[in-house]
Each structure stands twice: as C-alpha cells, then as structure tokens.
Amino acid sequence: MASTSERILEVRDLVKHFPLTQGIVVKRQIGAIKAVDGVSFDLHKGETLGVVGESGCGKSTLAKVLMALERPTSGSVTINGRDIAKARGNELKRMRRNIQMVMQDPYTSLNPRMTVGDIIGEPYEIHTEVAPKGDRRTKVQELLEVVGLNPDHINRYPHQFSGGQRQRIGIARGLALQPEIIVCDEPVSALDVSIQAQVINLLERLQNEFDLAYIFIAHDLSVVRHISDRVGVMYLGKFVELGKDTEIYDRPAHPYTQALLSAVPVPDPEGREQRERIILQGDPPSPANPPSGCRFRTRCWKAQEICAEEEPLLQIRPGTAHESACHFAETHDVVHVG
C-alpha cells in the first residue's frame, strides 16, 4: 500500500553537524558532532516510518531538522516538492502547517500557565487562516473530543491531567493545523504500560481517520514494530538498515539490527533459555569522532579489514530484499525461537 501512494516527504543526504569550538575571543572550530550524517528516505501518505536507535544515535536531531527547527548542514527535506530546509519567512510558515510534532515528555512540553484551550488553540494564533477567531473555541473542543478528552475541560490547566491525558493534549495540538505529517519523538516512552496502549491505539485511529503520515521515533523496538509500516535503524547518525517492518524484524540483515533485536526482552518465558542473545561489548563511539569505514565495526563480530577502509552504502544486498549498510549483510532471524 505504501509504495503506490503519493510521496509527501523526501529526505536526501541529510547532514547536521554541530561545531565544536575552542577559544573565547577567537573561536576556532576543532571538530564537529556528527549527529546526523547522511540520511535519505521517503515517506508516503498515510504511512508510518519508524526510526529506532540507541540514545545519541541522532534520531531526535533528525526530528528537529525535519521540522526545520534546526537548519541542516547539507542535504534536503522536500515536502510536497518544496525544500523546507531552504524555505524562509512566509513560505516556511506555510510549509510548517503541514508537518507537526508530538513531543516525548508530556510533563514539560505543555506550558503550565496556559489552559488546555490556549495550548491547543495556539497554532491558530500563528496560522490565522486556518480558523477565524470566533471559530477557534469550537475547533479546540472538537479536537479534545477527537483525542478522547472531555470538551468541557477546555479551561483546565495541564497539572489537572494525568500523564496519558497530557500526551493526548500534545497530540491534539499537533492535529490542530490538519497536517499531513506528524513527527512523534518518543511519544509513549514516559507513560505507564496500561496507558501506553491507549495512546498507541489513539495514534493509529487518528492515522486512519485523517490519513496522516507518521515519523515515529522511539527506542522501544516492540512499540515501533507495532505501529510502523517501514522501519529505519539508526546508528551514529546513519541508517544502517531500512525496510518493511517484517523485513527488519523477521529477516534483519545488518549485525547491529540483529544485536539490537536480540537484546529486546520478549514477554514470554517459554524457551527463554534457547533464545539467541547477541551481547554487544562496550558503548557506541563518540559521534564527534566516528570510526573510519563502517561505524559499527568497532563493536561488530563480523568486522574485517574492508570494514575499516570502505564505508558500506545503504543498498539492497545479495540475498536480501531490503536496504542494509553492511559488507557482509546476511539475513538472520534472532527474534523467534527455533
């Protein structure tokens, strides 16, 4: 379904480096944190692309660059044929209507001094053409109802709501301008298990109702599998593997994906002794000074000389049906027992 429908977001060779400087009067650049270092993907209408990776791999920076909250060092983010990375002023404002964000922490991402009505209605202050002034209150109440909150609570403050309800407020704010794309940065990781399911179901229902496309960034691989049509696995600022959810989870080809998946605990004790676990040694290297060639080679059990010399490109490799960035890519199911 995904590949046939309209392509609404096109990301090409996206790079975001944060300069490291030395000196107070005369600043010289002594290096750069390579947070995002060459990421390319497409997003289609109504599709969910999951982005997984460990902390520090650049997934939140990716979200910020997509939202044009950070300017990319190079590369392009094209939404419906126009590059948001180059847009300025009114054009940028217009484009931003189409891409909205749901933040991770429902406790700090809502202003405690604003009522829920003001928080959800704030996008209309900036984009006045979407809702004329007299219309806003009704619009906000509609949104509250859509996300499963009581429309009569429009004058309450964030502290009067629980974590799950607050996340619904954040989602309602994201929906206010009727965007086509919503970037969700760890939207459920701060919530309790029983509340997590409510919010995930809500996100899925909204996607069907409004034909939304999601970029769903999370570190919880089980949640990402549940919600995503396609998944990209990130390591040190790059995608190491990109494919359909079944391809990534049942037939992973990159050693990092295999290690990541094998480390996820499965909520079923049957066969736990037989389950394969690849325990990676050490921590990821610093993004200021990534290893030469393949960035994963320092922790990889397959590493050979070529891995240090030549950087493996993200492409379809022999014997696999989806893109992976490993010279020795080989599919291997690590999730299922036997």
Partner 1 sequence: MKKTSADVLPGLSEGGALGDHPLLAVDNLHVEFRTRAGIVRAVNGVNYTVNSGETLAVLGESGSGKSVTAQAIMGILDMPPAVIPKGEIRFKGTNLLQLSEEARTQVRGQRIAMIFQDALSALNPVFTVGWQISEMFRVHRGMSKADGLKKAVELMERVRIPAARQRVHDYPHQFSGGMRQRIMIAMSIALDPEVLIADEPTTALDVTVQAQIMELLAELQRESQMGLILITHDLGVVADVADKIAVMYAGRIVENAPVHDIYKAPAHPYTKGLLESIPRVDLKGHELYAIKGLPPNLLDLPTGCAFHPRCPYRQDDCVTDTPPLHEVSGTRSSACHYWREVLDGEHQ
Question: Residues interacting with partner 1, by CB under 8 A?
Answer: 54-55, 162, 164, 192-198, 200-201, 204, 219, 221-223, 225-227, 245-246, 249, 259-270, 272, 277, 279-280, 282-283, 335-336
Two tokens, residue 270: 């049957």
β-strands 48-52, 213-218: how paired?
parallel
Contact 324, 314 (CB under 8 A): yes
Give the phi and the psi of residue 250 in degrees, each rounded to 5: -100, -25
Two tokens, residue 89: 């002023």
Please, which residue, 24 or 279, has the CB nearer to partner 1?
279
The distance of closest approach from Cβ of residue 72 to partner 1 in the complex, given in angstroms and rounded to an integer, is: 26
Please, which residue, 50 or 75, has the CB nearer to partner 1?
50
β-strands 323-324, 238-244: how paired?
antiparallel
Question: Which residue in 36, 44, 33 sits closest to 14, CA to CA?
Answer: 36
Pairwise CA distance, residues 284 & 281, whole Å: 9
Pairwise CA distance, residues 283 & 241, whole Å: 20
The distance of closest approach from Cβ of residue 189 to partner 1 in the complex, given in angstroms and rounded to an integer, is: 10
The distance of closest approach from Cβ of residue 167 to partner 1 in the complex, given in angstroms and rounded to an integer, is: 13
The distance of closest approach from Cβ of residue 256 to partner 1 in the complex, given in angstroms and rounded to an integer, is: 9
The distance of closest approach from Cβ of residue 283 to partner 1 in the complex, given in angstroms and rounded to an integer, is: 5
Question: Which residue in 182, 297, 309 sits closest to 235, CA to CA?
Answer: 297
